[in-house]
Amino acid sequence: MSPFIDLQQSKPNDKLFDLPPLSLTPEGLALDFKRYYASTFGRDRDCRSAYYPYRALSVVMRDRFMERWKGTRQAQDEADCKRAHYLSLEFLMGRALSNAMLNLGVANAAEQGLYELGLVLEEIAATEPDAGLGNGGLGRLAACFLDSCATLQLPVKGYGLRYEYGMFRQAFDNGFQVEKPDHWPPDGLLAGYPRRAGGALRHPDPGLSQRHHQHPAPLEGRRHGRI
């Protein structure tokens, strides 16, 4: 149960949500990137880790997804349309950051903006680990289905399991192949937005029961502004 109560005296009005559109230009993307990199994550010129540029760029793209996500939900509510819900144990969506920039149509703008800051987009995007979730076939089919629905602007949501670990990572130790834990999900776009669902997953072993939370992650159709 949340420790925060509902607002009593405060009455949010439409001015709270009256925001200018987020920039998709190289300069606008670079400005937001610098703000997150330096202020939100507190990095300076001595930082050499690829993690923080990846996180900052992910948040820049996430903001633009959220802008479109709210617009999509509002358009669907106004149309009072029927919605479809697709359930799958697995979704192999690929690397989220690269897909996000491609679908938003800002890959070139992001590359130019980061180049002016001395950063290489390809190196930063490659930092994101690829998911090793499920057996692959079912998850890839589900991902293609959702991608097509988003591109066709169909009101469809996908639901699946939120893994705490992937299947495994493979490495070589003294010439022998070994398996190591695949920590999942990473930070970034695939971290989603935590949301309490209010339910509980029950198991005969009380130690294995857990609360049910939603962590929705956005998926945009190719360059038409709908999530």
Residue 114 structural domain: 22-214
Residue 196 has pLDDT above 70, yes or no: no
CA distance 102 to 64: 13
Domain count of the fold of the chain: 1
Average pLDDT, the chain: 81
Output the pTM of the full model.
0.77
Q: 151 vs 54, which has greater pLDDT? A: 54
Task: Provide the 10 A C-beta neighbour count for residue 28.
Answer: 16
**How far apart are the two ends of the chain, measured CA to CA in Å?**
30
Instruction: From residue 3, give the alpha-carbon distance in Å to each of 6, 14.
Output: 10, 26
Q: What pLDDT, on the 0 to 100 scale, is given for residue 190?
A: 54
Q: What CATH number has the domain bearing residue 183?
A: 3.40.50.2000
226 within domain boundaries: no
Q: What pLDDT, on the 0 to 100 scale, is given for residue 125?
A: 93
Instruction: From residue 29, give the alpha-carbon distance in Å to each of 7, 53, 95, 184.
Output: 34, 13, 20, 27
Q: What pLDDT, on the 0 to 100 scale, is given for residue 63?
A: 93
Pairing of strands 210-214, 195-201: antiparallel
121 within domain boundaries: yes
Segment of 25-29, 143-147, 151-155 carrying the highest mean pLDDT: 25-29
